Amino acid sequence: MGLGMMLGAHLTPRALGRIEQADVVFVAVSDPLVEQWVQGMHPDVRSLQPLYAEGKSRHDTYREMAAMMLAEVRAGKRVCGVFYGHPGVFAQAPHRAVAMAREEGFEASMEPGVSAEDCLYADLGIDPGEFGCQHYEASQLMFYRRRLDTSAYLVIWQPGVAGDRSYRRFSTPASHRKLLVDLLAVDYPLDHECTIYEAATLPIQTPRIERTSLGSLADARLDAQSTLVLPPCKPLRRNEALLERLAAIDSPA
Ligand code: SAM
């Protein structure tokens, strides 16, 4: 289940019910305060956070997270995995755990939560339906050939580890980010606006909304919780051919 982004603010009654009904609760949240909050909800809360380590592949970490949860499922326990945000958004371990449990014949489901994406729309005043909105993980965007639609919003997740081929780093340097900038500069002008966004995770915080230019991004501070947002740089273009076909259907000669 997903805790949402802000401590105490986004937990749904259904998600809380999942925690209360579980025999064992596993928790993977980056903020120790949030983990402490979850610890107070159930007598048997086990942290998955120590499975992360600099130099260790994140793929191994995610595999181990799923394996730890599955071991308790096989032992006959009702298991709840608690993740910050939405457990199914840019998060491998929850999807893996649910799929593994189902493959082995156990009942498993995912309870959605408020993700960084949801907070982003609210804090930045963006409606993804206005121009469309594409979401990419920074490294995947760099490693694979994609076609960006510059008439839609572009949201880039995990820019703090952009270009990490090892999946072992907690951050990557400006040299890596410079390659991301070069890639984006194929489609966007270097003076195009780029917002560094960090949703508030405590009620006393305000979100980080730092507007910079694409050209300045390589040297900007990007942390584990940063997400990038680029507005469209081109207007929407009408698909005249399709509109004509629709017109022909709507008013046949
Ligand atoms: N499951 C999470 C969710 O629902 O938002 C996303 C987890 S993903 C592994 C981590 C990435 O989410 C970060 O690199 C960043 O792009 C984004 N993220 C995490 N915390 C954030 C925050 N407080 N504000 C904005 N983006 C955040």
ipTM, 2 dp: 0.99
pLDDT band at 52 (very low <50, low <70, confident <90, very high): very high
**pLDDT tens profile 87-109:** 999 999 999 999 999 999 999 99
Q: DSSP characters for the chain?
A: -B-BSSTTTS--HHHHHHHHH-SEEEEE-S-HHHHHHHHTT-S-EEE-GGG--TTS-HHHHHHHHHHHHHHHHHTT--EEEEESB-TTSS-HHHHHHHHHHHHTT----------HHHHHHHHHT--HHHH-EEEEEHHHHHHS-----TTSEEEEE-GGGTT-TTS--S---HHHHHHHHHHHHTTS-TTSEEEEEE---STT---EEEEEEGGGGGGS---TT-EEEE--SS-----HHHHHHHHHHHS--
Mean pLDDT score of the chain: 96
Whole-number Å distance, alpha carbon 150 to ligand 1 midpoint, is: 23
Distance 39 CA to ligand 1 centre (A): 22
Catalytic residue positions, numbered: 58, 62, 84
Is pLDDT at 179 greater than 90 in this prediction?
yes
pLDDT in tens, 68-79: 999 999 999 999
Q: What is the pLDDT of residues 141-158, one digit of tens each?
A: 999 999 999 999 999 999
In ligand 1, the atom with minimum distance to the C-alpha of 160 is 14
Ligand 1-lining residues (CB < 6 angstroms): 5, 85-86, 89-91, 115-116, 157-158, 160, 197-199, 201, 224-225, 227
